[in-house]
């Protein structure tokens, strides 16, 4: 399987609400083709890298099911704690579950002013 990220930020600031876009592909006859997302459930999951504690599970929104395209948006409570997070995409379609490779998202602390 293959996940193609759009112009997604890997470094964000505390309290921001970034929108991520993806295309999810699976291997078929030696080629990668988009996974049809019709009737699929999409989860964008993040865990704190230091202790693997759960932080967020944002639902994905399908853009074009046949093309395997979807978005997922983090809200301010998802990004309220600075740190390095291990993120993954999980797609459930019927009895099949597809998971992306892990990828890193860093959340930077708010700038301190005096």
List the chain domain ranges: 2-108
8 Å CB contact between 63 and 70: yes
pLDDT of residue 7: 78
Q: 51-55, 61-65, 85-89, 109-113: lowest mean pLDDT where? A: 109-113
Does residue 107 sit in helix, strand or coil?
Answer: strand
**Do the bridges between strand 54-64 and strand 31-34 make them parallel or antiparallel, or are there none, so unpaired?**
unpaired
73/89 Cα distance (integer angstroms):
12
Please check the confidence at residue 2 and state whether its pLDDT lies above 80.
no
Please state which of the four CATH numbers 2.40.280.10, 3.80.30.20, 3.90.550.10, 2.60.40.10 is assigned to the domain occupying 2-108: 2.60.40.10
Its pTM stands at 0.89
Considering the chain, what percentage of its residues have pLDDT values greater than 70? 96
- According to DSSP, residue 102 is labeled P
49/99 Cα distance (integer angstroms):
18
Give per-residue pLDDT as tens, 20-61. Answer: 999 999 998 999 999 999 999 999 999 999 999 999 999 999
> In 3D, which of 101, 80, 112 has the Cα closest to residue 4?
101
């Amino acid at each position: 399987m293959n996940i193609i990220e759009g112009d997604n930020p890997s470094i964000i600031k505390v309290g921001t609400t970034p929108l991520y876009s993806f295309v999810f592909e699976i291997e078929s006859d030696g080629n990668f083709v988009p996974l049809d997302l019709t009737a699929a459930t999409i989860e964008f999951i993040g865990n704190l890298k230091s202790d693997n504690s759960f932080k967020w599970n944002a639902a994905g929104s399908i853009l074009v099911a046949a093309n395997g395209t979807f978005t997922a948006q983090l809200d301010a409570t998802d990004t309220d704690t600075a740190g390095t997070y291990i993120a993954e995409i999980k797609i459930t379609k019927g009895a099949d579950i597809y998971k992306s490779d892990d990828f890193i998202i860093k959340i930077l602390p708010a700038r301190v002013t005096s």
